[in-house]
Amino acid sequence: MSLDKKQFASDNYAPVAPEAWEALKRANSGHAGAYGVDRWTDRAVDMLKQVFEIDCSVYFVFNGTAANALALASMCQPFNSIICHELAHIQTDECGAPEMFTGGAKLLTIGGDQGKLSTSELEAAASSRKSDVHWSRPAALSVTQGTEMGTLYSVEELAAIVDIARRNGLGIHMDGARFANAVGALDVAPREISSKIGIDVLSLGGTKLGNPMGDVLLFFNPVLAKNFQYRRKQAGQLASKMRFLSAPWIGMLEDGAWLRHARHANTMAQLLAAEISGIVGVEILMPVQVNAVFARMPKTVINQMHDLGWVFYTFIGDDGVRLMCSWDTLESDIEEFSSSLRACMDAVL
């Protein structure tokens, strides 16, 4: 599917950001060691440690599903369970990868408004039936920041969740497919919403941010990183030409491009929400805190917009759509989309 205009379907519809592309080109010279024994991988690892201000273990993998599933596998036995939000990507969009890579751990989903874990439900799920041999004993919590609903946990909210998990002996995984958007929006140091509050393992997303491919796992808890290299290899996630997974991170991190792009996508979402919320018949459904806008509009209008060539997904019921902005979204794309939407809406009202 090649598309003739900018889309709001997902941030992974966007091309590669120029900084990542340039870094990739620079890495494309001469021979280098395979499987991560190369200077680009060393440099990317060093830069990630610098950005996170901690000496953590860093593992590049091909995508976010693998990052999540393998991180969770490092925390769980096959008889364990993983607590997550009912809308978590690991529950809704990973085809059972966490269950498979843990060798059978069960996802225990809980609710919570706006895509965020309810602390009372978390407390209940983490503490009930603890010594019941018939139950899948919880061993991990997975929390997504920014969430699947385009919202954010504040530092305090995260700390409260981590506290409950810790008290109940759970390992804590963060799905940070849009971690950069969260850092940009909260205007905090990356460590403030990860290592410092007690996250054990972070799946740090690069693809939606503007890398060609490849997400990365940061193990802040060294015990969980033990033997991880074997787990990654067995899962088919050890890239032989590793420099082409790692080098884009150099380009994205070296002058703060990652946060510049993330903040831009966030700003575009704010603008999009402001534009379309002024259209009669459109209702914004979630607070717009990172780079997604969730909006309700009549089904006939959704269909008309699709007929006009706009690609976006329906996420909530059959009339709640998700509009994602990316590093390359322009104000003019938003104007074009909004005027299409206004015209479609005018026609049905």
Ligand X SMILES: *Cc1c(COP(=O)(O)O)cnc(C)c1O
- Chain residues binding ligand X by CB under 6 A are 63-65, 68, 89, 144, 148, 175, 177, 207-208
Comparison of 176 and 304: residue with beta carbon closer to ligand X: 176
- Strands 313-316 and 320-324 come out as antiparallel
Residues 6+ apart with CB under 8 A from 189: 53, 183
DSSP-H helix ranges across 178-330: 179-186, 222-225, 228-234, 243-254, 257-277, 299-307
Comparison of 63 and 102: residue with beta carbon closer to ligand X: 63
Comparison of 208 and 261: residue with beta carbon closer to ligand X: 208
Indicate the SS3 state at residue 42.
helix
Comparison of 64 and 112: residue with beta carbon closer to ligand X: 64
Comparison of 144 and 151: residue with beta carbon closer to ligand X: 144
In angstroms, what is the minimal distance from the CB of 67 to ligand X? 7
The neighbouring-strand residues paired with 191 are none
In angstroms, what is the minimal distance from the CB of 84 to ligand X? 11
User: How far from the centroid of its chain's Cα atoms is residue 114's Cα?
Assistant: 16
Cα 273 to Cα 173: distance, rounded to the nearest angstrom: 31
DSSP code, position 310: -
What type of residue is 306?
H
In angstroms, what is the minimal distance from the CB of 300 to ligand X? 29
Residues 6+ apart with CB under 8 A from 298: 281, 319, 345, 348
Comparison of 116 and 208: residue with beta carbon closer to ligand X: 208
In angstroms, what is the minimal distance from the CB of 10 to ligand X? 8
Comparison of 216 and 285: residue with beta carbon closer to ligand X: 216
Nearest residue to ligand X on Cβ basis: 64
Residues 6+ apart with CB under 8 A from 187: none
In angstroms, what is the minimal distance from the CB of 310 to ligand X? 20
In angstroms, what is the minimal distance from the CB of 133 to ligand X? 33
What sign does the CA torsion over 333, 336, 337, 338 have? positive
In angstroms, what is the minimal distance from the CB of 193 to ligand X? 15
Indicate the SS3 state at residue 325.
coil
Cα 263 to Cα 267: distance, rounded to the nearest angstrom: 6
